[in-house]
Structure 1
Amino acid sequence: MTTRLLLVRHGETEWHAENRYAGVTDVALTSRGVAQAQDLRAWAVRSGVDAVACSPLSRARLTAGPAAAALGLELEVQEGLREVDFGWGEGRTIQEMADEDPEAVRRFREDADSGAFPGSEPVHRAAARSTASLRDLADRHQRQRVLVVAHNTLLRIALCGLLGLPLGRYRRIFPRLDNGAVTEIEIGGTQTALRSLNVPPAPFPALAPAPAPDPSPAGDRHP
């Protein structure tokens, strides 16, 4: 028996313009991020989604919440889907870090696991918790389609973990996931198949407007 997981990066946040690393930090969604949540809502209603799960960070909750509400589903909050803590890099741009310690940035770009930022969560630990969370969702929702809203780095690491790819190379294997785009995987037992990658939700005629979520704490963009 298999489960389809529809992995989505949360909507755009206020730190996107400056490209700051926001792991455990909550920053507000932009108006575009709120609109992306509404687009995801419309897509989910028309795509046969059976369950909705998300990271506990508010940017993910605000993106997933409209879809869950429109489908009449409880939002399943998964602690294991929280974004990576970037430690020394949290809240900073890559240029700011390179200006202070270019060697640290070089090591990170070469291998994000062995060259992780000082004080950050190890990549292998993020992989273990995220893949465990996704496998748990797959086990509990067999033969269903589950919308999962989480984060750019966390989802790329999880994809590498599930597909047996080098964890420290996640940035090169999957350069980025776009806000609101859907990556579909199929999990059956110990096997995982990648069905699509970083696909914008297909456009549909607009649903009746839903109340916009309060774009308070919620955000990240990072390379």
Structure 2
Amino acid sequence: MMIDLYIVRHGQTTWNVQKRMQGRLDSALTKKGVEDAKRLRDYLATTPFDEVISSPSGRAYTTAKLIRPNETNMKTDPRLMEIHLGKWQGKTDDEIYHEFPSEYDHYWNAPERYYNDGGETFTDVMTRVEDFLQEIERMHGGGRVLMVTHGVTIMAFLSIVKKHSLNNFWSAPISEGTSLTLIRLDKGERKLLVEASVEHLSLVSVY
């Protein structure tokens, strides 16, 4: 059965604006984050979904509810959560750069060497994303699935589908808030159809 995964990054949050690492912590959507989600809601208004699955994190779940306000059977899956960043969580990029210079360099420039005490590695994230994909392929009867997740998690989806090695984890462009990526699962093949589209953000706002 052919399955189309519509993968959305959550809307902009207050910590995104502050360049503060969230990981498993959370912060509220900004006004822009809410408005962008509403634009995506309108953009996808005529697209039927067989299932809606969100990361349990508040910023993702709130985005999912804005995109699909009438969904009565929305599911959450912890495998869609953001990378756990251990002691980095809640700190700004600048604070992390100065407190953990070697780890910070590995995070961005040598992801295969990145390790964060108390957190996840990129391999950990890719393992749970691969597990999620295999379950969808095995259990889902076909159709369209809307998923709301996080930036690093989306990079893991892209790395898996593009068959990138871990050192090329960041080779794809980083997804903006509410960006839309479309992956097709068909007879054991995984195809990237749309990558990090923000076409909906060019729509005229009525909010």
| Residue of structure 2 equivalent to 1:132 | 131
CA distance in 1, matches of 2:45, 2:151: 24
Amino acid at match of 1:118: D
Q: In the alignment, is the contact (CA less than 8 A) between 2:49 and 2:144 conserved in 1? A: yes
> Percent same amino acid at aligned positions?
25
Q: In the alignment, is the contact (CA less than 8 A) between 2:85 and 2:119 conserved in 1? A: yes
Distance 1:110 1:205, change over 3 A: closer
CA distance in 2, matches of 1:206, 1:34: 12
| Residue of structure 2 equivalent to 1:148 | 147
Q: In the alignment, is the contact (CA less than 8 A) between 2:7 and 2:148 conserved in 1? A: yes
Does residue 84 of structure 1 match 2:89? no
- CA shift at 1:136, angstroms? 2.5
- CA shift at 1:138, angstroms? 4.3
CA distance in 2, matches of 1:48, 1:193: 20
Aligned pairs for 1:58-77 within 5 A: 58-70=58-70, 72-77=71-76
Secondary structure of the corresponding residue to residue 149 of structure 1: strand
CA distance in 1, matches of 2:99, 2:78: 33
Count of matched residue pairs: 206
Does residue 121 of structure 1 match 2:117? no
Does residue 162 of structure 1 match 2:161? yes
| Residue of structure 2 equivalent to 1:219 | none
Does residue 27 of structure 1 match 2:21? no
| Residue of structure 1 equivalent to 2:13 | 13
Distance 1:66 1:17, change over 3 A: closer
Amino acid at match of 2:164: L
Secondary structure of the corresponding residue to residue 25 of structure 1: coil
CA distance in 2, matches of 1:168, 1:116: 14
Amino acid at match of 1:108: Y
Does residue 193 of structure 1 match 2:191? yes
Aligned pairs for 1:88-103 within 5 A: 88-103=87-102
Higher relative contact order (CA 8 A, sep 6+): 1
| Residue of structure 2 equivalent to 1:174 | 172
CA distance in 2, matches of 1:119, 1:191: 35
| Residue of structure 1 equivalent to 2:53 | 53
- The answer for unaligned runs of 5 or more in structure 1 is 210-223
CA distance in 1, matches of 2:163, 2:87: 28
Secondary structure of the corresponding residue to residue 29 of structure 2: coil
CA distance in 1, matches of 2:72, 2:40: 15
Q: TM-score, normalised by structure 1?
A: 0.82
- The answer for unaligned runs of 5 or more in structure 2 is none
CA distance in 2, matches of 1:61, 1:53: 9
Q: In the alignment, is the contact (CA less than 8 A) between 2:24 and 2:81 conserved in 1? A: yes
Quick check: 136-145 or 107-116, which moved more? 136-145
CA distance in 1, matches of 2:107, 2:39: 34
Amino acid at match of 2:119: S
Q: TM-score, normalised by structure 2?
A: 0.88
CA distance in 2, matches of 1:107, 1:204: 38
Post-superposition CA distance 1:153-173 (Å, at most 9, x none) = 1110122123321234322x1
